[in-house]
Amino acid sequence: MQSKIKIGIIQFPGSNTERETFMACNRVGIEPVEFLWNDNPKKLSNLDGYIIVGGFSYEDRSRAGIIAALDPIMRQLTVESKKNKPLLGICNGAQILVESGLVPGLKNNQVGMALTDNKRIKDGHVIGVGYYNTWVNIKMSATSNRCAFTRKLKKEQIIKIPLAHGEGRFVIPKSLLKKIISNNQAVYQYCDEEGKTLDEFPFNPNGSIHNLAAVCNNQGNIMAMMPHPERTKNGDFVFHSMKDFIQQNNPITNHVLKHNKEKVELKKYKAVDSSTEWVVNMIITDNEASSVQNSLIQLGYDVVLTRQTHWEITTDGEKEKIMNKIESSGELYNSNKEFLSNIKTNEKTISILVRQKEDIYGRLKQESLKHRFQINGLVKLKRGVVWNLSSKRGNIETIIYEILETNILFNPLSHECYRIN
């Protein structure tokens, strides 16, 4: 009698869809095995496949998925995936796979894409940003045998499943996207009820390039999927496919995927001459900075790290009057737990300003100040995060580029960074 297929249900602090994933596995006749991030990673070798569940791992500190992507358990999952075992990331799990470089499968797991802030677009205008919860239509754009999670559907088949996320927009360089499409790695796309991939809301719920809902790696045994197949029986095909893939002895494909690595550029920061800069510190403990610092220490970088919010505010008119109105609104900082400060520069500290290439949050705040608070004369508002780093041993200058290469502070596909000092 053949032993039951065992699938590790990988959970990090903040994961929250493990119950639904257990139920989905049980429905298709595979055995879910709870596996916590701090369990012995070597035990993963006893399992046949893996699912990284959704939720908010490490509270999405720094950005969704990055802290978990650098967790030691991911190194062992990488080892296991090289044995052709299937690995599925759902929602936050997809973000973790993208940040770890396991999807799309470039050489040495270099990061080739980003999952960033939702952007709901209709008639060419941004009508909404941030978290969105709905049911969506997705169609399978690959052939049935393309990957471990497509085997029980036919190409162009449409499924309706739930979606719930705030950072689900795939961002991919056009040259790499072309190769991904050619390789049949653009597995699932958002569409209407007839299967048309209309690139606007509500059919594309988050502004993803090419209406992407899920992307697999080049070998076909790993997939990053933003919608939630585990929350409905409509999604059982994903888990049935995973089961079939294992029963057929993990038949991977050998598609080649190459792309030049995105170069980390550390530009010198210069604010607009007429702008005002606000640097905001927290009164309470900054858990986000602590998590990033602890992750860097785990990676072997003995650093001290602090975080500040940065606003660059450009006005036209009576600057002092406009700035007083902005401060009184409470939109840019909460005076109960934050205060205006300065960037503390010294020769032992490097300060890095990180901004999203598409500053969705800054745009949202600008719209709020203009329309909700009726503040005129606000021309431009840019939001960023300042990371201040110093080394407990030696000179921070000698390791700063190594730290930037970990991508823990920013993803070069969706962010840009500047050196302030």
Q: Which helix (H) or strand (E) holds 41?
A: none
Which of 18, 20, 80, 91 is an active site residue?
91
Query: Are residues 321 and 408 both part of a single domain?
Result: yes
Question: Residue 372 gets which letter from DSSP?
Answer: I
b/e per residue 297-313 (b: at least 16 CB within 10 A): eeeebebbbbbbbbbbb
Query: Are residues 233 and 283 both part of a single domain?
Result: no
Locus of tokens 């060419």: 124
Per-position pLDDT tens, the chain of length 421: 467 999 999 999 999 999 999 999 999 999 999 999 999 999 999 999 999 999 999 999 999 999 999 999 999 999 999 999 999 999 999 999 999 999 999 999 999 999 999 999 888 777 888 889 999 999 999 999 999 999 999 999 999 999 999 999 999 999 999 999 999 999 999 999 999 999 999 999 999 999 999 999 999 999 999 999 999 999 999 999 999 999 999 999 888 999 988 778 788 998 888 899 999 999 999 999 999 999 999 999 999 999 999 999 999 989 999 999 999 999 999 999 999 998 877 778 999 999 999 998 898 899 899 999 999 999 999 999 999 999 988 889 899 999 999 999 999 999 999 999 7
Angle between helices 92-100 and 72-81 (to 10 degrees): 80
Query: Are residues 130 and 174 both part of a single domain?
Result: yes
316 falls within a domain: yes
Which of 230, 288, 312, 358 is an active site residue?
230
Q: Is-catalytic flag, 91?
A: yes
Query: Are residues 375 and 335 both part of a single domain?
Result: yes
Q: Which of 370, 203, 389 is nearest to 289 (CA)?
A: 389
Q: Is-catalytic flag, 165?
A: no
Query: Are residues 196 and 63 both part of a single domain?
Result: yes
Locus of tokens 């990284």: 52
257 falls within a domain: no
Which of 165, 210, 228, 310 is an active site residue?
228
b/e per residue 180-207 (b: at least 16 CB within 10 A): beebbbbbbbbbeeeeebeeebebbbbb
- Spatial neighbors of 157 by CB under 8 A, at least 6 apart, are 139, 140
Query: Are residues 13 and 158 both part of a single domain?
Result: yes
